[in-house]
Amino acid sequence: MKQRFKPKFNIKKGDNVVVIAGDDKDRSTPHQVLAVYPQKGRVLIEGVNMVTKHLKPNAQNPQGSIVQEEAPINISNVMLWDSKANAPVRVKRARTENGFSRISKKSGEVIK
């Protein structure tokens, strides 16, 4: 993506989202967003898209190891979770006196 036009996404760090596409698809269980990478269009979600990483031996870990960690997925494969409606929702942005706020299209509530 170009630097001139900064992408605007409705998902932020700390939000609860559901995965709507891919191997970890589950529309009923919300997960927490750990990080958002807007220039790449990807999000890191807790417990989703687990990959195996091999670590070389070093001074702290002379044996080396194999660890499971999350990998980022495309932001289009997740949907924001509304706790009031208890369902995944679409979001609209509304201008307020102190910037923009996200509003659930299903329940009409402001998402914090």
pLDDT at residue 1 in the model:
57
The structural domain count of the chain equals: 1
Report whether pLDDT(46) > 90. Answer: yes
Query: Is 48 within 8 Å of 79 (Cβ atoms)?
Result: no
Query: Is 16 within 8 Å of 81 (Cβ atoms)?
Result: yes
Determine the structural domain holding residue 25 and report its residue range: 16-81
pLDDT at residue 88 in the model:
95
Largest CA distance in the chain: 57
In a domain, 3, yes or no: no
Compute the average pLDDT of residues 84-104.
Answer: 93
Per-residue b/e over 77-100, b at no fewer than 16 CB within 10 Å?
Answer: bbbbbbeeeebbbebeeeeeeeee
Compute the average pLDDT of residues 84-96.
Answer: 93
Check which CATH number belongs to the domain holding 23 and give it.
2.30.30.30
In a domain, 54, yes or no: yes
pLDDT at residue 72 in the model:
98
